[in-house]
Structure 1
Amino acid sequence: MLRPDVSSAARRRGAGCLAAVGVVSVLLAGCTVEPPTPAPDAPAIAAVVSEPQERKILDAVATSIAKHDNVSAADGLRARMTGPALSMREAELRLAEDTGEERWRTDLSMQTQQTVLPSDQSWPRTSYAVQAQPADTHTPALMVFDQASAREQYKLWGYVNLVPGASLPPFAQPELGSAAVAPDDDTSLVRSPQDALAEYAEVLSEDSDAKGTGAFADDRLRQDLRAIEKSQTGVADWAETKGKYSFTAEVEPSLGLRAVRTADGGALVLGGLTGTQTIEVGQKGAKINTDALPSAQQVLFGDEAETNRLRTRYHDFVALYVPSAGSAHKITLVGFRHIPIDVSGE
């Protein structure tokens, strides 16, 4: 009855870099969103991390991840991973091992085409890196690194795969650095970072019926979720089983969010959500055919008894471009990861 999930990692359709005076941007081919025009009077501030220092950080994190990149050694990831990145990697390693499908394991090689370095003097400090095109068919990863205090190491805090056809906004040149944006900044942006993330969760949950849908451009994740719903509810006997389908998303407060100023006065916002897919058949005696589940859901469901109601939870980590206040641009999804972490019958 049920068909495989649509993979969030799409074939990359091309990559390129655009440069302008004082800004750097990354563009994936097929882009339908024009990159914002850089502000001519961006403040001249200095990065607190140099490009050579960032390179050493990337190499150290990459070495640690490669050393602990299997389930039996996953505890060692904590030395250089934290937050949503750690949760996602642990889930990816379990799925790759249990399903035998390497597609679940994000390529986290750290040869880069762009870095965004912090200018804030205080801690925590956050830097960003856009991966060079990986060897597989995934689009490049956008990675977020955190240093919690002066005495702690930088750790990989989060990552997404860039959406094919989406573009990152321009940032200040690395030597100038880019400032962090407060989660509740609702004066310089069309939405504060925390409100943008919360409204996007509503959009994923309700799609076109959500209050904030008009503020968001349509995107690949929403298209994937619609395709998954259609694959479940479009089967011939769905009506006869009195089937019900839903997907909801909620902000995961414990994960926090990160936001950085773009050269046009907007912000790049990254944060974690918890997604829940529920499938139910109401016909008396009807059960969900678990043998027809996608491989990831099968291994997560395990040997539980057949059920008429199935709940799948996901880690959803997203990167949003939020325009500056007064802009006519919509909030745009530029990257995401959608990872199943638990399946249960109810």
Structure 2
Amino acid sequence: MPRSAVRPRSRAGVCLATVAAAAVLLAGCTAEPPAPVPEAPVVAAVVSEAQERKILASVAAVVVEHDEASAAEGLRARMTGPALAMRQAELRLAGATGDERWRTDLSAQTQQVVLPSDQGWPRTSYAIQAQPDTRVAPALMVLDQRSAREQYRLWGYVSLVPGASLPPFAESELGSAAVTPDDGTSLVRSPAQALADYAEVLSEDAAAANAGAFDDDRLRQTMRDVEASQTGVPGWRTTEGTYSFAARVEPDLGLRAVRTADGGALVLGGLTSTQTVALGQEGAEIETDALPAAQKVLLGDQEPADRLRTRYRDFVALYVPAAGSERKITLVGFRHIPIDVSSG
């Protein structure tokens, strides 16, 4: 699998200005010196790169220690939110199917870190993994610290899309500011709206009202391929079958957004999606033996029926350009994990 291109980061300058006080003698009176102009605040990361790498090493150690489904509860020590839910689903599928491709490599070797500049809490940092293997896409990891007394925990992660270019970020020592979910002024659309619109586009593809605002991407192509594999089988038309796929934002998962050096934002958030295959012909049954291994495992011993519903947990990373840009919103990474299958 080709390496993901990461563009060089830009260097932002910091300017400090001071004004010296001066005394002026006028008509025998001494004028009050002007108040000093306060120095411009120095923009700097609130976590050093060395500290970040120690945090990542600690998280990775917990991931390695609890790398089986039976030990997944131990991940709570250093994982939370979408990352915890996805990892538990990955471990279940990897163990049940014997397919290690379900288990994302979350090793701590990184090629770049994006550190927070915001002084308060919660704080969020990002790490772009060094390529673990030429056949495996590197991961983009999101870490949260909810308060000063809590440890950083892995909140979410995606596999970077092969060939996708990440946006540039400020130098790590300067840090990068968080972007609020409703910031629709500095961006072509707010992070929350971009995520909601992407869920719509993922569901309806080219027919979606906002499809033109997004570049085509690997996840959408995957969904088209899956639909073709379901509806392209011999005899599909005679079964009077229907196929649907619908994604929606999972508000309980929240989202994270960070400013990029070009004024845009990297936005990460969770979705849930549902794929439904239904046969309209009386007496027709879906051939469960032909299902992918993951769906078979999740279906278990349920009886075959004329309907099969598969739920997925999705986590996506979108680049949202700055306001006024003619660039489209781009998917730079995702994770798409089946979590439940039901028949009937």
Give the TM-score, by structure 2 length. Answer: 0.90
CA distance in 1, matches of 2:269, 2:156: 8
8 Å contact kept, 2:145–2:152: yes
Equivalent residue in structure 2 for 1:163, among 161, 164, 176:
161
1:94-113 to 2 correspondences below 5 Å: 94-113=92-111
1:13 aligns with 2:13: no
The residue that corresponds to 1:140 in the other structure is 138
1:336 aligns with 2:325: no
C-alpha change, 1:313 and 1:20, in structure 2 (3 Å) is closer
C-alpha change, 1:321 and 1:44, in structure 2 (3 Å) is farther
- Higher radius of gyration, 1 or 2: 2
The residue that corresponds to 1:126 in the other structure is 124
The residue that corresponds to 1:55 in the other structure is 53
Equivalent residue in structure 1 for 2:287, among 279, 286, 289:
289
Q: Which amino acid aligns with 1:76?
A: G
CA distance in 2, matches of 1:293, 1:184: 41
CA distance in 2, matches of 1:253, 1:21: 33
The residue that corresponds to 1:28 in the other structure is none
Equivalent residue in structure 2 for 1:243, among 241, 244, 255:
241
1:57-206 to 2 correspondences below 5 Å: 57-135=55-133, 137-206=135-204
The residue that corresponds to 2:305 in the other structure is 307
Deviation at 1:262, TM superposition (A): 0.3
Give the TM-score, by structure 1 length. Answer: 0.90
Report runs of 4+ in structure 1 exceeding 3 Å deviation.
Answer: 15-18
CA distance in 1, matches of 2:311, 2:7: 38
C-alpha change, 1:121 and 1:305, in structure 2 (3 Å) is same
CA distance in 1, matches of 2:299, 2:55: 38
Secondary structure, aligned partner of 2:52: helix
Q: Which amino acid aligns with 1:260?
A: V
The residue that corresponds to 2:205 in the other structure is 207
CA distance in 1, matches of 2:140, 2:271: 17
CA distance in 1, matches of 2:158, 2:9: 25
Provide Cα deviations, 1:94-134, integer angstroms capped at 9, x if missing partner: 00011111110000111000000000011110000000001
CA distance in 1, matches of 2:10, 2:257: 23
The CA RMSD over aligned residues, in Å, is: 1.2
Q: Which amino acid aligns with 2:335?
A: R
1:22 aligns with 2:11: yes
CA distance in 1, matches of 2:205, 2:5: 31
CA distance in 1, matches of 2:217, 2:7: 22
C-alpha change, 1:177 and 1:308, in structure 2 (3 Å) is same
CA distance in 2, matches of 1:228, 1:172: 39
CA distance in 1, matches of 2:138, 2:9: 22
Deviation at 1:14, TM superposition (A): 2.6
Deviation at 1:18, TM superposition (A): 3.8
Deviation at 1:15, TM superposition (A): 4.4
8 Å contact kept, 2:45–2:173: yes
Equivalent residue in structure 1 for 2:270, among 272, 275, 287:
272
Deviation at 1:235, TM superposition (A): 1.0
C-alpha change, 1:193 and 1:16, in structure 2 (3 Å) is closer
The residue that corresponds to 1:253 in the other structure is 251
CA distance in 1, matches of 2:335, 2:4: 19
Q: How many residues in Structure 1 have an aligned counterpart in Structure 2?
A: 316
